[in-house]
Amino acid sequence: MSRFWRPGSEKPTAAIVEDEEGGVLFLPTSTSSSSSSGFGYASLERQRQRLPVYKYRKAILYLVERHATTIVVGETGSGKSTQIPQYLKEAGWAEGGRLIGCTQPRRLAVQSVASRVAEEVGVRLGEEVGYTIRFEDQTNPGMTMIKFLTDGVLIREMMEDPLLTKYSVIMVDEAHERSISTDMLLGLLKKIQRRRPDLRLIISSATIEARSMSTFFNIRRKNSMLESADHLPNPEPAILSVEGKGYTVEIHYVEEPVSDYLQAAVNTVLIIHEKEPPGDILVFLTGQDDIDAAVKMLNEEIQHRGRHYLDLLILPLYSGLPRGDQDLIFTPTSKGKRKVVISTNIAETSLTLEGVVYVVDSGFSKQKCYNPISDIESLVVAPISKASARQRAGRAGRVRPGKCFRLYTEEFYLKEMQPEGIPEMQRSNLVSCITQLKALGIDNILGFDWPASPSPEAMIRALEVLYSLGILDEDAKLTVPLGFQVAEIPLDPMISKMILSANNFGCSDEILTIAAFLSVQSVWVSMRGVKKEFDEAKLRFAAAEGDHVTFLNIYKGFHQSGKSSQWCYKNFLNHQALKKVIDIREQLVRIIKRFGIPLTSCDRDMEAVRKAIIAGAFAYACHLEEYSQNGMYKTIRTSQEVYIHPSSVLFRVNPKWVIYQSLVSTDKHYMRNVIAIEPSWLTEAAPHFYQFRTPNPALH
């Protein structure tokens, strides 16, 4: 059993960020004795005024008025996400039909923050306060004043309104997450500000290096001498640090590296419950598999121990969690009970969990990582950065002094851990990103101002794929109409191409259904303990051709059942997910009709369906290695070893030729959403692609 060394306390740093480049600093004034707000319930109003950000209300409004860009640094829980939009509205930034826009990197956070703000303002969600995420719009034009949306949705809005003229202020929240959409958005907003000096930006983050962000947004106007300084905001960014109200968090490290962080996390939870005073526990693990395993281990331990352990409530937390399970997490803990939330890094900054006093930090998170040489994008478990570690520890000090148990040594933290995480832009496939930039009129991607530039290899690989898909022409411009249509469909360009090609095979009806299924994380409800029945349910829908055709069978069954939730329950299907599939499909149908593409069905001609799928996903073709005993495949393009994921209906069937939609990496690269094909269809679908390289003997 690992023991923890107690070096003393590590109080979260809270100070004005020093700006050596002359940015405006603002010291907090004493608490205001009066409130100008007339909204909200009395108790809610008192809650709002107790948030750390309240002390900075006047400072924030002053800086937004005077500066084009204001950078706000404040810990999660300081209240900036929910309060700043309200301060802006109260100050009149939404008057005259203007909008206050607030972006978040994640859908879950958009919905959560929007609901909270609507509650505090005292209006129904979708009226004065609303949100828009992909495939869902809860706003009312002409009424909505504060609009929450994901970074990606705001980028998409630029395609219709390049200068975002509806918005008076745009707040980019959680900028520290540095998602690919966030970085694109920051670069685009910088361009917009050059042409719209009146647009105000607020860049909000928990950990971001304020100086580099300030440098990025420092715009030197060419004709500044000719303009009146009285009418335009100062282009120099202002930096404001919101002091957190967090309490001291005691950091504990292991004395020696642990041999199994999962087991160590479970053991630590049990010891906390045994030795520490009341307070909820938050455990950071990597993903759903880790979390499910930990939940199971803890529940079994509870059964084998004394009655004291029955007071533990073990709750998983990850993106895509059903709504009811989410509500459990946010419900206050009953007296005498201790809640144990086992989470991915989504609880690191995006969500605020009241009542957490103890944090167990495994030191790992799951990260997307793209290798442009092999053209493989995978989710890998990777060490966290110091910034993440500090964020995780901070979750323990929300309501009173807390403790953070780090399952790694202090030496590792000091000497080996990276200060900051790698921005997603530098470890991602750029196909979607380049398509969007091109559609926004940015032809010269070389000169685009990236907060963090991707590598040339990643750019080369993306251009190659886009050219082969017919989305870019020989001058690297979007093709007409295909390239622009692909950019307009809010899906991965390969899937969009699949949809647009379906018309040639007379199966657009089926392909739209498949595309909708691919947009949902999973339609199955994983039920532990009834594995046999679950597998039998899957087999009822399984199609010999593969996963995509299986989706069609599920869709058909769902409709025949009258979209029954009982039918879903009986077949281990997620009713909410299937309703979402139908909703997404309806939206895709509307888009396709706007393009003038007819809705056609191939009836049961699955060869047409498979050929249409190849038209989009030809780059992901694989063949089974001869004499392979364990189902090893190799990608045609880069000869990577891949395997069919056990969740696929083609698992163990191992057809000779397959195409996959995505890869999941654990110890190997696993193909998900796999379909069997004929090799001759590849040269039919993508002659350019396969002729650009030395002929593969297997293809002839």
Partner 1 sequence: MAAIGSSNVGFQLLKKSGWKEGTGLGAQEQGRLEPVESRVKNNKRGLGSKEPKLKPKVDEDGEKDPKKPKLEAPKKKAKLAAKRIRKMQEEEKRLQEREFEMAFFREFWPDNV
Sheet with strand 99-104: strands edge to edge: 136-138, 129-133, 146-150, 99-104, 167-172, 200-205, 69-74, 238-242
E strand residue ranges, 91-223: 99-104, 129-133, 136-138, 146-150, 167-172, 200-205
Question: How many residues comprise the chain?
Answer: 700
Number of helices and strands (H, E) in the chain?
Answer: 25, 23
Q: Is 616 in the site for partner 1 (CB under 8 A)?
A: no
Task: Using DSSP, state whether 10 is helix, strand or coil.
Answer: strand
CB of 180 to partner 1, least distance (A): 13
* C-beta closer to partner 1: residue 44 or 271: 271
Task: Using DSSP, state whether 252 is helix, strand or coil.
Answer: strand
CB of 511 to partner 1, least distance (A): 21
CB of 698 to partner 1, least distance (A): 15
* C-beta closer to partner 1: residue 246 or 454: 454
* 303-342: contacts with partner 1 (CB under 8 A): 304-305
* Peptide bond connecting 383 to the previous residue in cis, omega within 30 degrees of 0: no
* 474-493: contacts with partner 1 (CB under 8 A): 474-476
* C-beta closer to partner 1: residue 231 or 528: 528
Stretch that binds partner 1, among 31-39, 224-232, 262-270, 586-594 (CB under 8 A): 262-270
* C-beta closer to partner 1: residue 197 or 257: 257
Q: Is 210 in the site for partner 1 (CB under 8 A)?
A: no
* 26-55: contacts with partner 1 (CB under 8 A): none
Q: Does residue 350 contact residue 205 with C-beta atoms inside 8 Å?
A: no
Residue partners of 366: CB distance under 8 A and separation at least 6: 286, 287, 344, 345, 379, 380, 381, 382
Strands 9-10 and 249-254: antiparallel
Q: Is 535 in the site for partner 1 (CB under 8 A)?
A: yes
Out of 464, 492, 509, 547, which residue is the one contacting partner 1 (CB under 8 A)? Answer: 464
Out of 95, 325, 327, 457, which residue is the one contacting partner 1 (CB under 8 A)? Answer: 457
Q: Is 372 in the site for partner 1 (CB under 8 A)?
A: yes
Task: Using DSSP, state whether 624 is helix, strand or coil.
Answer: strand
Which residue bears the tokens 């108790």? 43
* C-beta closer to partner 1: residue 536 or 583: 536
Out of 544, 560, 564, 594, which residue is the one contacting partner 1 (CB under 8 A)? Answer: 544
Task: Give 272's Cβ-side CA count (13 Å radius).
Answer: 29
CB of 444 to partner 1, least distance (A): 7
CB of 246 to partner 1, least distance (A): 24
* C-beta closer to partner 1: residue 234 or 385: 385
Which residue bears the tokens 């009713």? 575
Which of 72, 96, 71, 66 is closest to 167 using CA atoms? 96
Dihedral sign for Cα atoms in the order 624, 627, 629, 632? negative
* C-beta closer to partner 1: residue 43 or 259: 259
Out of 445, 525, 597, 664, which residue is the one contacting partner 1 (CB under 8 A)? Answer: 445
Please give the Cα distance from 329 to 316 (Å, whole number): 8
Q: Is 370 in the site for partner 1 (CB under 8 A)?
A: yes
Helix axes 180-195, 431-439, angle to 10 degrees: 20
Q: Is 219 in the site for partner 1 (CB under 8 A)?
A: no
* 343-362: contacts with partner 1 (CB under 8 A): 362
Which of 682, 645, 646, 637 is closest to 663 using CA atoms? 645
Task: Give 593's Cβ-side CA count (13 Å radius).
Answer: 8
* Peptide bond connecting 7 to the previous residue in cis, omega within 30 degrees of 0: no
* 400-429: contacts with partner 1 (CB under 8 A): 407-409, 411-412, 416-417, 422, 426-427
> What is the full DSSP assignment across 423-463?
PGGGGS--HHHHHHHHHTT---GGG---SSPPPHHHHHHHH
Q: Is 255 in the site for partner 1 (CB under 8 A)?
A: no
* C-beta closer to partner 1: residue 380 or 525: 380
CB of 305 to partner 1, least distance (A): 8
* C-beta closer to partner 1: residue 65 or 260: 260
Two tokens, residue 447: 């000169």
Stretch that binds partner 1, among 8-16, 339-347, 595-603, 661-669 (CB under 8 A): 661-669
Q: How many residues bind partner 1 (CB under 8 A)?
A: 97
CB of 9 to partner 1, least distance (A): 22
Which of 174, 247, 175, 208 is closest to 393 using CA atoms? 247
Stretch that binds partner 1, among 221-229, 334-342, 549-557, 647-655 (CB under 8 A): 647-655
Stretch that binds partner 1, among 172-180, 321-329, 453-461, 598-606 (CB under 8 A): 453-461
Task: Using DSSP, state whether 340 is helix, strand or coil.
Answer: strand
Q: Is 260 in the site for partner 1 (CB under 8 A)?
A: yes
Please give the Cα distance from 346 to 317 (Å, whole number): 8
Q: Is 459 in the site for partner 1 (CB under 8 A)?
A: yes
* 273-292: contacts with partner 1 (CB under 8 A): 274
Two tokens, residue 610: 């498979």
* 552-591: contacts with partner 1 (CB under 8 A): none
Stretch that binds partner 1, among 54-62, 496-504, 535-543, 564-572 (CB under 8 A): 535-543
